Structure 1
Amino acid sequence: MQKLSLVDKLLFIVNSLLATMLLISFLSYYISPNTFSFISFISLSIPFLIILNLLFIIYWILKLKKQFLLSTIILLIGFQFITKFYSFSEKKVLLTNDLKVMSYNVRMFNLYNWIDEKNVDQKIYDFIKEKSPDILCIQEFHPSKELDIKYPYQYVKIRTNHNNFGHAIFSKYKIIKSGSLDFSNSSNNAIFADIVKDKDTIRVYNVHLESLKINPKEETLTQENSEKLRIRVEKAFKKQTNQADLILLHQEKATYKSIICGDFNNNAFSWVYNTLKTNKNDAFEVAGKGFGKSFDYHFPFRIDFILTDKKFEVNNFKTYDVKYSDHYPIMARINFNTN
């Protein structure tokens, strides 16, 4: 470092710390929060760390300094995380017999007027009607909003002891079986429906994992609040771990290929995501474009997913920029051929 100026030496120290943090945070993909909960907390920072390391690479290259190699090597080690953060090209194969699967956390159709706008519930309904998904999975469904969502088949599960909201699966195709996993000690849940199209049957899970209960727009991060936040988030991570295990165990007992979609309340760098993605493709990674931001925050957080059986072909994936909830709706077009 003798050829670096004092400022550059200080910057390289910062660069080294950020690169080390990024390398350590990659472990969150493989280590269960039940084993080491704090590393899962670090995983939330991976998108920020990726961007900061990219900025350092650009800085050192512009200065023609070999220090760019540090962050470059770390990012190459975690290259799979780059593709989860950003997809460079959208796949567009739009077939008439594609199965259109939409997942949408509607935040109870704006029941408590979180969005200062009139008729948000009706706008959600109109949007769904326009896109006309074949299978629609709604999280935070509230039955008091009497929207005329017309589908021939549906399964709705309301947790009456938790604010009277729940989850719903609507389908244009026959539902032959449905049920609820009933997460314990949680207002969140996962439901499923076995859906028949032509001669094939698939199982669709509508998942809403434990919320981290983070509100960056309102919380002030004093030292005391930061510690309380860390404890609260780590508890939520552990609940998510148990919920993911329950979903996998339930899925293993099914004889049908499956799709898991919904609000994971966690990102694509987490152990929970990696666990639920077992033997599945992330529709965004296969056919999406951009950051895939699905949560309404100034940074591109992707916490809503559609995971498909590897034998299904994902032809297209979109995140829709409509601000009728704190989440954005996502939809995948899937070639429904289970042979």
Structure 2
Amino acid sequence: MKKLKFFNKIMFLVNSLAAFLLLISYLLPYLPPKSFATLSVLSLGVPLLILLNILFFIYWVLQVKKQMLLSLVVLILGWSYLSSMYKFSSSKKVENENNISVMSYNVRLFNIFEWLPNKTVKADITELIKKEQPDILCLQEYRTKDPVELNGYYGYNTTFNNAVKRGQALFSKFPIINSGSLEFSGTSNNVIFADIVKAKDTIRIYNVHLQSSGVNTDVEILKKETSGQLFKQVSKTFKAQQTQVELFLKHKSKCPYKTIVTGDFNNTAYSYIYKEIKGDDLVDTFEEAGNGFGKTYDFKFFPLRIDFILVDESFTVNGFKTFDNKLSDHYPIKATIALD
């Protein structure tokens, strides 16, 4: 440190802070938001912290400085975080006659409030679904007042008592023999489920939409918010999410079938929320067969993956795709799986 020039001393101080915060973030999946609400907010910034530490590592390498070891060690300690954010391997695609395709998509009410200038969002989303023909389709923020017309699917959806009639929807090419909804108090978010039959197997599908922070990601709007206000809002959201997840896990624990959990978690793979939902018995299909950043949310500052398809370990993951269709503030994802 003494041999560093003044500018590099400042750089190393910033590097040390970024490394320390990333190191602390490795504990976040084990810290319940109800007890560590403010600290849990850090999980949203993990992708940025990873990118910063990579940049600092490259910076010191180019200068042949031993300070490169700081970020290198922290990144190695969190290698699973790196693989969760970015998959270096190419997308896996295995053809199998037993394959089942599962698509999840937060459609943001088909753009009825014209967040996007595109006037044909609903038609474009419908066309995408018809082109991809997923065997199982889970939609969040689905406008039940103006449903999508899909042939060849069994369907189940929930409607909330509000002006736009929004909820979640689940469609299946396989017969649905049971379905229901897990209602969360004081919110329009919820979880719906359906039991489907494929050949001799019954499979439980959960379509999850956890509490949203309600924070507008528009840069100009964010500038008007104080950091205290943002932290308070997100902390409150994560506490609500924990309550919602506890309700979901209680319901899931009674399920006798192989399970698929899809949807918009409104949280990252570095969070307590994700860890609890994934548990020890589910596999993240992106980590198994995806590639690249796997970005699922249109966040301006760094790639965010907050939409997931998690499947029982009994399934083999034969493919995963993240679409780049700009028809919502989320991007659709699709996994291809097969029962062993």
* TM-score between the two structures when normalised by the length of structure 2: 0.96
User: Would you say how many aligned residue pairs link Structure 1 and Structure 2?
Assistant: 336
- CA distance 1:310–1:75, change in 2 (3 Å): same
Which stretch of structure 1 is more off in the superposition, 152-161 or 272-281?
A: 152-161
**Matching residue of 1:296:** 298
Q: Give the alignment's Cα RMSD to 1 decimal.
A: 1.3
**Matching residue of 2:287:** 285
After superposition, residues 235-250 of structure 1 pair within 5 angstroms as 235-250=236-251
Q: CA deviation at 1:166?
A: 0.3
Q: Is it true that 1:307 corresponds to 2:310 in the alignment?
A: yes
Residue pair 1:109, 1:145 contacting (<8 A) in 2 also: no
**Matching residue of 2:262:** 261
Instruction: State the alpha-carbon separation in 1 of the partners of residues 222 and 158 from structure 2.
Output: 35
After superposition, residues 181-196 of structure 1 pair within 5 angstroms as 181-196=182-197
Which stretch of structure 1 is more off in the superposition, 56-65 or 159-168?
A: 159-168
Residue pair 2:242, 2:273 contacting (<8 A) in 1 also: yes
The residue matched to 1:140 in structure 2 has which SS?
strand
**Matching residue of 1:220:** 222
**Matching residue of 1:58:** 58
Residue pair 1:190, 1:207 contacting (<8 A) in 2 also: yes
**Matching residue of 1:152:** 153
Q: Any idea what the Cα deviations from partners look like across 1:269-306, whole Å, max 9, x if unmatched?
A: 11000110111110000000000001122321111000
**Matching residue of 1:252:** 253
The residue matched to 2:74 in structure 1 has which SS?
helix
Instruction: State the alpha-carbon separation in 1 of the partners of residues 54 and 233 from structure 2.
Output: 31
**Matching residue of 2:337:** 334
The residue matched to 2:275 in structure 1 has which SS?
helix
Structure 2 residue identity aligned to 1:128:
I
**Matching residue of 1:322:** 325
- CA distance 1:171–1:26, change in 2 (3 Å): same
Structure 1 residue identity aligned to 2:34:
N
Residue pair 1:27, 1:39 contacting (<8 A) in 2 also: no
Instruction: State the alpha-carbon separation in 2 of the partners of residues 95 and 7 from structure 1.
Output: 57
Q: CA deviation at 1:198?
A: 0.2
The residue matched to 2:267 in structure 1 has which SS?
coil
**Matching residue of 1:105:** 106
Instruction: State the alpha-carbon separation in 2 of the partners of residues 277 and 25 from structure 1.
Output: 18
Unpaired stretches in structure 2, ≥5 consecutive residues: none
The residue matched to 2:28 in structure 1 has which SS?
helix
**Matching residue of 1:165:** 166
After superposition, residues 18-37 of structure 1 pair within 5 angstroms as 18-37=18-37
Which stretch of structure 1 is more off in the superposition, 180-189 or 291-300?
A: 291-300
Residue pair 1:121, 1:145 contacting (<8 A) in 2 also: no
Residue pair 1:314, 1:332 contacting (<8 A) in 2 also: yes
Unpaired stretches in structure 1, ≥5 consecutive residues: none
Which stretch of structure 1 is more off in the superposition, 145-154 or 51-60?
A: 145-154
Residue pair 2:216, 2:222 contacting (<8 A) in 1 also: no
Instruction: State the alpha-carbon separation in 2 of the partners of residues 163 and 147 from structure 1.
Output: 15
Q: CA deviation at 1:76?
A: 1.2
The residue matched to 2:27 in structure 1 has which SS?
helix
Q: CA deviation at 1:146?
A: 4.3
Instruction: State the alpha-carbon separation in 2 of the partners of residues 75 and 152 from structure 1.
Output: 45
The residue matched to 2:244 in structure 1 has which SS?
helix
Instruction: State the alpha-carbon separation in 1 of the partners of residues 324 and 115 from structure 2.
Output: 18
Q: Any idea what the Cα deviations from partners look like across 1:214-241, whole Å, max 9, x if unmatched?
A: 212142345x632122111111000101
**Matching residue of 1:136:** 137
Residue pair 1:26, 1:43 contacting (<8 A) in 2 also: no
Q: Any idea what the Cα deviations from partners look like across 1:38-90, whole Å, max 9, x if unmatched?
A: 11111111111100110110111111111111111111111111111101112
* TM-score between the two structures when normalised by the length of structure 1: 0.96
Residue pair 2:268, 2:306 contacting (<8 A) in 1 also: yes
Q: CA deviation at 1:162?
A: 6.7
Q: CA deviation at 1:310?
A: 1.1
After superposition, residues 77-92 of structure 1 pair within 5 angstroms as 77-89=77-89, 90-92=91-93
Structure 2 residue identity aligned to 1:293:
K
Instruction: State the alpha-carbon separation in 1 of the partners of residues 188 and 324 from structure 2.
Output: 27
